[in-house]
Amino acid sequence: MTENNQNKIKKSDILSWNKVTFDKILQSNDMIPENFRGKISLDPDKDFVLNSQIGQNLENICPTNAISYKNTLESISLDVGKCIFCGNCQQDMPKLIKISNNFDMAKKRKTHLLEVFPESVPFGKTYEEIGDELKNKINKTFGRSLAIREIDAGSCNGCEIEISALTNPIYDIEQFGMHFVASPRHADLLLVTGPASKNMEKALKIAYESTPEPKLVIAVGACACSGGIFGKNYATTGGIDSIVPVDVFIPGCPPRPQAILYGIMLALDKI
């Protein structure tokens, strides 16, 4: 660790007992170390040329098939929702794949999690975008307080650790008017983790149905977005959007507390 890093620790010295809570979690990037594997993107260097060997190689190296190479189009795509942030691909091809320590990865549409190189050009306003605008108006009905219910649909408990870290004195989610409630009947928002195991499918449906309208659902972590490393198999359904409608997808394995908060804010259109 460099001297610079040590200063950073002192800046947010939790153990001095004076002030513990961070008021501006989403801005205080200095508490995230440089080597945290956060935002992953296809950001090629100028001299980078994609060929089929590089493409195939990256496709093979990815444990969750998040990277796929299309031979005919000579294009490579990265599904951030499937990524478990192991860092294998960056080690293999640092010229194409960049991993930074940012955490603002949450997206409202599953298709927005997909990155393609070379990029295809989007056109016009889609049906979904018009629908999103309408939804924004609904979001205003929640006012300034938000009741959250966490549902574990078979996760490895990594996401639970990060979600419960949101309630600790350091992240202190209650400062934003959000609190965790004990029943889906009291909730405005469901935070769902896990690849939605078949055994939890029914319970998740019942919980969704008993949440009063208007409601939001956030898929937390790679498993909830796409099935993650478990994918879709005999015991999992491959992402919770196959069971309940999802408003925001938060990639990460697990997403750090700030990333979860960013996703919640995105769901509420407060960012």
Residues in contact with another protein by the rule CB under 8 A? 1, 5-6, 9, 14-15, 17, 20, 31-33, 35-37, 63, 84-87, 150-165, 167-170, 180, 182-184, 194-195, 197-203, 207, 228-236, 253-254, 256
Least distance in Å: CB of 225 to another protein? 14
Residue 148's nearest CA partner among 168, 175, 177 is 177
Give the residue with the Cβ less far from another protein, 54 or 170. Answer: 170
> How far apart are alpha carbons 240 and 127 in whole angstroms?
23
Least distance in Å: CB of 5 to another protein? 7
Give the residue with the Cβ less far from another protein, 33 or 118. Answer: 33
Contact 81, 225 (CB under 8 A): yes
Least distance in Å: CB of 205 to another protein? 12
Please report the DSSP string for 196-215 in residue order: -BHHHHHHHHHHHHHSPSS-
> How far apart are alpha carbons 46 and 98 in whole angstroms?
13
Give the residue with the Cβ less far from another protein, 95 or 186. Answer: 186
Least distance in Å: CB of 130 to another protein? 35
Contact 194, 238 (CB under 8 A): no
Give the residue with the Cβ less far from another protein, 140 or 179. Answer: 179
Give the residue with the Cβ less far from another protein, 207 or 225. Answer: 207
Q: How far is CA 168 from CA 22, 128, 135, 175, in A?
A: 11, 36, 31, 11
> How far apart are alpha carbons 264 and 250 in whole angstroms?
9
Least distance in Å: CB of 260 to another protein? 12
